[in-house]
Amino acid sequence: MNAVVSPILPFARKLEREGLTLDRTPLEILQVNLTARCNLACTHCHVESGPKRREALDARGVARLVELMDTAPALHTLDLTGGAPELHPQFRELVAAGRARGLKVIDRCNLTVLFEPGQEDTAGFLARQGAAVVASLPCYTPENVNKQRGKGVFGQSITALQELNRLGYGQADSGLELDLVYNPIGAMLPPSQASLEADYRRRLHDDFGIAFNQLFTITNMPIKRFLHELERDGHLDDYMQLLVDHFNPRAALGVMCRNLVSVGWDGSLYDCDFNQMLRIDLGRARTTLWDIERLDEIETRPIAFARHCYGCTAGSGSSCGGALA
């Protein structure tokens, strides 16, 4: 039986009580959810992506994105995600467009997609473009990875990482960044990012000869598939209380919604990827790629907060770039 849980204070009220004001800073990161289609259907996926999903940003949206890349002076990163972004027909076009403008381009890769038909040269393409790879690997043991992501996923992931290493990714002085992403299996906060990174580095090197640059720890957000799991198992109240009890003001100051805009596969704009999945519009005002003339227009908009924001500010904090404090 669950313990009695106090009502969750709205996140915006929590910020007020802590004396915090989270305004936007100059826009630095353009994150694009290219498609909901994925070759996997992971249990923790907040996008609820999978092989049967077909939603994708159309050619008109891609063209508009390329136009807008030049309209935010502080922009330095194009972050491509999904689903499996590599499955989008114009994925390579966007990578090349971002790199041509001197942007850091991130491919958020599930690793196994590199073995899908038509993806045989994707790793090579990314290396030639100098794109960074952020790869999901929720553990360094097959049992935990396969439980969360599907049978056989761990073995394919290891093979993919070895191929990326062969191309220079994760190697000293190569300029090819390979970062890994860990998220907990279950209703708990991630452990220390630094200590877990040391464990990953040792185990992956000793067991498989794999090298990488950084490990990012990301908190499971209480939305979509993970929310359904929490509700099914009767753990939602306890998990929300865990997040609230571990609120960290220092982490709150670094939340990604301050310098990032998230673009949905339909061209709609959001404060972050999680708000996108919940259809909480940018500053709670419906806005699309075609409603703005410049990307930096959004820098004056307020940020829309909701209870899942406690996930980004709990413990060491959590963002697409890992721990915050």
Question: Is residue 317, in this structure, part of any structural domain at all?
Answer: no
What is the per-residue pLDDT for 93?
98
In which order are the strands placed within the sheet that holds 260-263? 214-217, 178-182, 132-136, 104-109, 77-81, 29-33, 260-263, 269-270
The DSSP call for residue 152 is T
pLDDT recorded at residue 185: 80
Residue 44 confidence (pLDDT): 64
Residue 311: inside a domain, yes or no? no
Give a yes or no: residue 49 inside a domain: yes
* Any domain includes 323: no
pLDDT under 70: residue ranges of the chain:
1-6, 43-44, 149-150
Q: Tell me the per-residue pLDDT of 121-148, one tens digit each, with 9 for 90 and over.
A: 999 999 999 999 999 898 888 887 777 7
Domain count, the chain: 1
Q: How many CA atoms lie within 13 A of 83 on its CB side?
A: 23
Six-digit token string for 57: 């940003």
Q: At how many degrees (to 10) do helices 122-129 and 153-166 cross? A: 40
pLDDT of residue 1: 36
97: in domain:
yes
The whole-model pTM stands at: 0.94
Residue 182 lies in a domain: yes
Compute the CA torsion angle 9, 13, 19, 23 (nearest 10 deg): 130
CB 249 within 8 A of CB 17: no
Categorise residue 124: left if φ over 0, alpha if ψ from -120 to 50, beta otherwise. Answer: alpha
129, 95 Cβ separation under 8 angstroms:
yes
Q: Specify if 69 maps to a domain.
A: yes
pLDDT at 73: 97
| CB-based contact 222:308 (threshold 8 Å) | yes
181 domain residue, yes or no: yes
What are the CB-based long-range contacts (under 8 Å, 24+) for 200-207? 200/137, 200/140, 203/140, 204/140, 204/161, 207/140
Query: Which domain, by its residues, includes 127?
Result: 25-228+255-304
- What pLDDT is stored for residue 6 in this prediction? 59
CATH number at residue 133: 3.20.20.70
Contact 33, 82 (CB under 8 A): yes
CB-based burial, 150-179: b 16+ in 10 Å, e otherwise? beebbebbbebbebbbebebbbeebebbbb
Q: Give the span between the Cα atoms of 96 and 231, in whole angstroms.
A: 42
